Structure 1
C-alpha cells in the first residue's frame, strides 16, 4: 500500500481532528483578514525597478508627488473661459475645493495669468470651452483615500465637471479591481454549483467543492493580507484577484476529481474507509501531480522580479496550496462522515449524472483513422495561433480602464484637446551623495550639463528645473524669482532632487521609448545617481527584462513539467507529447486574444477599447494556462496509465482512460470556463484579458486537444507511448 493510501486511512480514522483543524483554520483566516492589508500600488512601476525606486523616493521624500494630484475639467457647450459667467463659475468651484477638509498645496487655474500663452495652452482646450483646474494635495495617496469621494462629488451649477488626475485614476483602478473580484465570485460560484449539480446529480456532492473553495479563499486571502506589508517582492491587489481567478477553479476541480473517484468506489461496493484510501491513492495522486505542475508554472512568475507578476504568482500559488491542503484533509474527512450518503438529496435535472459511452466511442472513431482527424485539428490550432505573429505590446496604462469611466474620459480630453498638457512628463530623480550640497554653485555646474544633454534629446520639450540654471546660485535663495523658489521647495529634499521633463510623445509610443533609452544612456555616463522614473521608463525596463528572462522561464517550466509527468507515467514520449499539446493550447489562446483585444473583435460586448496587448499578459497566461492544461493531462494520463497496466493494449487503454476521465474533464473544464467568464466581465483590462485567454485555453484544451489530438497521437505512437529504459522505470 502506498503512502497516499495510508494517508487516506489516517484521515478517515482522525476525521474529527481534521474537522477541528478546518474550523481552526477558518478562524485563523478571519483573524488575518480582520488585520487589513497594506498592498503596494499595482498601477505604478514595482519598487524593484529603477523607475519604481524613483517614484517611491518622490512619494516618500517630497511634499507633492505625482500620485496626489487631482484635475477637474470644467466645460460648457456654448461659453468659453473668457466669458465672465464662466470665470465666476470656475472661481466658485475653486472656493468649494478650498472648503474641503484637505491640506491643499496649490490650485492652478487659467485665471492665475490669463494673458500668458503657456498658461492658456496648459489650462484651456483648443476651442476654449473647457478649462482645467489642477489641484495638488499634501500627504500620500493612502492618506487621501478617504477624501476621494468628496473630491469626486464636487459639482457646478453652471458648468459640466469631469474629474481625473493620478490620484483619482489610481483609486479607480483599486476600486475596479476589488469590484472585479467580487463580481467574478458572484458569477463564478453559482454557475459552478449548477455545473456540479449536473455532473453529480445530487446536492450533497455538489456542495462540497464549493465549501472547499470558500475555505481556500479565506485562507489564501488572509495570508496574502498578512504578507502584503513584508514580502520582499511586495504584494498588490492583483494577488487577491488571482486567488479567486485560479483558486476557485482548481479547488472545485480537485474536489470534483476526488469526489467522483470516491463515488465510483462506493458504487463498486467498497467500504467508506476503503473508498477514501483508494480515492487518495488514485485521484489524490493525480491531484498531487496536477498541483505540482500548476505550481511549476506559477513559480516561473517569480523570476520576473522587475514586474508585478511575482505578486500575481504568489496569489495564485497561495490559492493552489490552500486548495490542495483542504482537498487532502477536509474533503476526505467530510466524505468519511458521509459515506454512501454522498449520493443523497438528488436533484431533478434532466441528464444529470447520466452515464454514456460518448468519450469511448469518439476515441475509438478518432483512433480508427488518426491522421484524418489529427491533421485538420492541428491546422485549426495553428490558424488560431497565427494572429499572435503580428502582436503589438505595451505596458498598459489608462486604457486598461473601461472607455466610459470618468477618470479615463477626463484624461483623454486633456491629451486630445489641451495643447500643452504634459501627462507624458518623465520624472528624473537625482540622488545626493553624502557630501553633496545642492544649494552650491559647484553642484549646479555639475548638474547643468546633464540638463542640457537631456534637453537636446529629440522630442524633449525642455528641462527647466532651477538646478539647471547656474546663474541662480550666484545670488541668495530669497532673491530667486518666486516661481523658482516654489519649484525648488516642492522638488528638493535632503536626499533627492526631482525634475520633470515634458516630452512630445505619448507613453507607449516608439518615439517615447527612444527618448527614454537616450535618457538612460546619458544618465549612465554621469558620476552621480540619476533615476529615470514614470511609466514610459518602466515600459522600457519591462521590455528588456522580459526579453532577458523569458528563455530561462520556458526552459524551467518545460523541463520540470516533463520530469513531473515522467514520474507519474514512467514514459519518455508521453511527457514530451503532453508538453507539445499544451503549447498548442496556449498558442491558440495567444492568437485569439490578439483578435479580441488588439483587433477589437468584441469591444462592444465586453466594454473595452482595442489596444496593444499588455506586456505581462503572455507570460502570465503561459505560466498559469500551462499548469492548468496539465491539470487535465495528468488526470487523463493517470486513467489511461491505469488501463494500460491492466490490459497492456494501447488502443483499449486510451479508449477506457478517456471514457473514465472524459466526463470529468468536461465538467472540470466547464467549471473553469464559468469561473474565468466571471473575470472576463472585469473592468480592468489586464484581468479581463487574462480571464479570456485562460477561458479560451481551457476550451481548446478540453475539446480539440483532448478529444482529437490526444487519442490520434496515442494511436499513431502505439506501444512506443509507454517505452522507457529499464533503469528509468
Structure 2
C-alpha cells in the first residue's frame, strides 16, 4: 500500500495538492459551524441514579435551585425599609424572568430560614432553565441583570449555574491565553528544529488539515449526538502536535536520503515506505488509546475520543499523502531558507544520543536503576491519591461564585444548595411518606428533612408550610435532606449510600440526587469501566506492536516502560495538586484529583508515549533486520531517532505547559501532567530505560513463537522488498556498516 502511495504522489503530486486545497476549503466551511453544535457539561453518567433523579426533579418539580443570589444590606440591616424594598423588587423581578422558575426568597413568607447565622446576609434561590449549554448562558444573562449593586443591597451570584458559567468563561479565556503563548513559541521552535523556513511549514500543513478536518467531523457528530465544547482544545493541541511529530519524521528521513546521494524519487519512495510505515502504526496506537474513552458514558470523555481519533486519523492521512506530494514538488528546495545552524540539525546522526545509548548499553544496571528509582519515587504519591469532581475550589479565590459557595458553607446553617435530594418514581401516601421522612431525619449527619408532610428533625415533625407543600405531587414526592457535613467529604458520600439503603416508601423507587450523589455516581461509573478501558488499551497496543515488530517481548517491554513514565507523571500531579505542593506558585487550592481529567490524561499521554515508542523501535527494527546485532541496532537507531523524538516531545510539551497559566486547577493539572509525562517519556524512557532494557533482553528482545512468526509474516505490515533490496534495506545496511566501523574504532 505504501509503495502505491509513493508512486501516486510522484506521478500526480500537483493534482493531489489541488484536491487537498479543495478539501481544506470544504472542511473549513463545514467545520466553522462546529462551535454552534458543541455543548458544555457532560461530566455525569446519564443512566446513574443521581442523573435519573435530576431528570425527574426537572420534569415534575421545576428543577433544583441552581442559582444562588447572596444578598448583604449596605446600611441598616436586612430589615431596613430600603433593604426590604430592594429585596422584594429583586424577588419579584426574578420571578418575572422567562428562564427562571422556583424562586425562594428571604423576603417571601416563611423565608426566615434563608438568612445567615449572624443575620447580616440573606439568600434568594432560583432555578434557571436550560440544558447543559444554555443554562450557563441564561444564568449569565440573569446575573448580569440582577447581581451587583442594587441600592441598599449588594448581590453576588453563585450556585451550580453561576459556577459552571464562571468555569466556562475562565477556561475559554485561559485557553486563548495558552494558545497565544504556545503557538508563537512553537512556530519559533519549529524553524529552529528544522533549520529551514520551508521545511518548518510542512508540519503546519499537516496540523491545519487535521484541525479543519476534525472541526468538520465535530460539526457532523454534534448534529446527531452530544459533543463537549472542550473537544475543540484537544483538536488544536493534538493536531499541531501530531503535525510536528509526523512532519519531523518524514522531513528528516527525506533529507537523510538526499544527503546519502539518492535522487528525489528514490528518496521519496524510501521515506514513504519507512517513515510512512512508522506513522501508520504510530497513528494506530494513539487511536487505540483514545478509543478507550468511548467506553465511558460521560459525553465529556467520549467527546475527546471523537476529536482525538479524528485528528489522529486525518493527520496520518495528510502525512502519508499530502506531505509526500509536497516533497515531490519541492525536492531539494525543502532546504530553502536555510538558517546558520541548518547543517547541524540536518545531519541524520545525533552524536549525543549515540554516546548516551552506547554508555547505557555498556552499563545498563548502573545507568537505568537510578532513573527507575527516581520515577518510582515520583509515582509513590499515587498510593495516597483520592479522586473527586470539580467544585468551586477549581476557580481562583477572587471568583464571585466561589466566594458565594464559601459564604454558604461557613455562614449559613443547613445549606440547602448542597442537600441530598430524594425523589420517588411514583405516588406515595401520607403515612408511608411520613414514616420514611422520619427515618431519614434520624440518620447521623442529617440536620433536617423537608417533605410534603412537614419538616423533620431527629424524627420529630413540624407542620408543613408553603415550601413543603410544593414538594408533593400525585405521581411523585420530593424530599430535601439537609446535612451539616462538608460537601463532597467522605462522610457526605457515606451518607448518600446510607440514604440509598433506606427502603423506599410505598413500593416505589427512591432516586437519590444532589452534588454528593453525583460525585458518588461519577466515581463509580468511571471506576467500574476503568479496568475494561485499561484492558482494551493494553490488548490493542500489544496487538499493534506485535504486528509492527514481529516480537511478543517488545510490546511487553513497551507497556511496562510506558506504565512507569505515566505513573510517575500522575504521581507528581498528586503531590502537587492534591497534597498542595507548589500551590503558592501556581495559585490553586489543593483538592482531590479530578477523576475525568486524570482518565483523559492517562489515555492521551499513553497514546503519545506509544507514538514515540514506534518512532524509536522502527529504526532499531530496521537495523536489526538488516543484519545488525542488538547493541549496534539500538545505539545507531537511537542516534538516528533521539533528536527527532526530543524535538517532537519538546514542541508538544510547550503546548501542554501553556495550560499551566490557567486559573482553573484541573486545566493546570492536565497541562502540567501531560507535558511532564511527554518529556519523561522522551528523555528518561527513550534515552535510558529503552536501551537498558534492550541490552538486558539481548536476542530475546525479538522473540516470538513460531506460530506467531508465521502470523506476522502473513499480516504484519512490511514494506521492504524481498531480500531487502529496496531503499529501506540499503539504508539499513549502510547504517550497519557505518556503526560497525564506529564500534571497531572505539574498541566496543
TM (norm. structure 1) is: 0.88
Aligned Cα RMSD in Å? 3.1
Deviations 1:111-146 (A, max 9, x none): 445xx7xx445223x344433333445566726725
CA distance in 2: counterparts of 1:506 and 1:469, whole angstroms: 22
Match of 1:435 in 2: none
Deviations 1:143-200 (A, max 9, x none): 6725624623643255544221222112223333433443333332222212211110
- SS of the aligned residue for 1:604 comes to helix
CA distance in 2: counterparts of 1:170 and 1:197, whole angstroms: 40
Match of 1:214 in 2: 208
Match of 1:709 in 2: 689
CA contact (8 A) 1:262 1:276 kept: yes
- SS of the aligned residue for 1:410 comes to helix
Deviations 1:443-480 (A, max 9, x none): 4445444434433332233332216799xxxxxxxx99
Greater RCO (CA < 8 Å, at least 6 residues apart): 1
Match of 1:577 in 2: 557
Q: Say yes or no: does 1:185 pair with 2:183.
A: no
Deviations 1:474-505 (A, max 9, x none): xxxxx9964455445xxx5x865543332222
Return 5+ residue gaps in structure 1 as ranges: 433-437, 471-478
In structure 2, which of residues 637, 641, 644 is the aligned counterpart of residue 661 of structure 1? 641
CA distance in 1: counterparts of 2:202 and 2:653, whole angstroms: 19
- SS of the aligned residue for 2:510 comes to strand
In structure 2, which of residues 656, 661, 665 is the aligned counterpart of residue 676 of structure 1? 656
CA distance in 2: counterparts of 1:642 and 1:701, whole angstroms: 22
CA distance in 2: counterparts of 1:139 and 1:377, whole angstroms: 52
> In 2 relative to 1, CA 35–653 (structure 1 residues): closer, same or farther, beyond 3 Å?
closer
> In 2 relative to 1, CA 140–388 (structure 1 residues): closer, same or farther, beyond 3 Å?
closer
Match of 2:525 in 1: 545
Match of 2:442 in 1: 456
CA distance in 1: counterparts of 2:248 and 2:499, whole angstroms: 55
Match of 2:222 in 1: 228
Structure 1 residue 84: Cα displacement: 5.1
Structure 1 residue 81: Cα displacement: 2.8
Q: How does 1:412-491 map to 2 (within 5 A)?
A: 412-432=406-426, 438=427, 443-466=429-452, 482-488=466-472
CA contact (8 A) 1:448 1:469 kept: no
CA contact (8 A) 1:29 1:223 kept: no
Deviations 1:192-250 (A, max 9, x none): 2122111101111112212322222222133223313533xx32223223323433322
> In 2 relative to 1, CA 660–4 (structure 1 residues): closer, same or farther, beyond 3 Å?
same
Match of 1:535 in 2: 515
Match of 1:341 in 2: 333
CA distance in 1: counterparts of 2:33 and 2:415, whole angstroms: 43
In structure 2, which of residues 679, 704, 715 is the aligned counterpart of residue 724 of structure 1? 704
CA distance in 1: counterparts of 2:343 and 2:123, whole angstroms: 62
> In 2 relative to 1, CA 661–307 (structure 1 residues): closer, same or farther, beyond 3 Å?
same
CA distance in 1: counterparts of 2:208 and 2:315, whole angstroms: 10
In structure 2, which of residues 623, 628, 646 is the aligned counterpart of residue 643 of structure 1? 623
Q: Say yes or no: does 1:694 pair with 2:674.
A: yes
Structure 1 residue 650: Cα displacement: 1.3
Structure 1 residue 108: Cα displacement: 4.2
Q: Say yes or no: does 1:155 pair with 2:122.
A: no
Structure 1 residue 594: Cα displacement: 0.9
Q: Say yes or no: does 1:27 pair with 2:18.
A: no
CA contact (8 A) 2:432 2:505 kept: no
CA contact (8 A) 1:177 1:238 kept: no
- SS of the aligned residue for 1:501 comes to strand
Structure 1 residue 557: Cα displacement: 1.7
CA distance in 1: counterparts of 2:152 and 2:467, whole angstroms: 32
CA distance in 2: counterparts of 1:526 and 1:315, whole angstroms: 47
Q: Say yes or no: does 1:59 pair with 2:27.
A: no
Aligned residues: 697
- SS of the aligned residue for 1:133 comes to strand
Match of 1:402 in 2: 396
In structure 1, which of residues 2, 5, 9 is the aligned counterpart of residue 3 of structure 2? 5
CA contact (8 A) 2:135 2:161 kept: no
Which one is further off, 531-540 or 689-698? 531-540
> In 2 relative to 1, CA 443–331 (structure 1 residues): closer, same or farther, beyond 3 Å?
farther
CA distance in 2: counterparts of 1:720 and 1:572, whole angstroms: 10
CA distance in 2: counterparts of 1:528 and 1:94, whole angstroms: 36
CA distance in 1: counterparts of 2:169 and 2:351, whole angstroms: 48
Q: Say yes or no: does 1:377 pair with 2:393.
A: no
CA distance in 1: counterparts of 2:24 and 2:48, whole angstroms: 36
Which one is further off, 238-247 or 409-418? 238-247
Match of 1:133 in 2: 124
- SS of the aligned residue for 1:282 comes to helix
CA distance in 2: counterparts of 1:596 and 1:351, whole angstroms: 41
Structure 1 residue 613: Cα displacement: 0.8
- SS of the aligned residue for 1:429 comes to strand
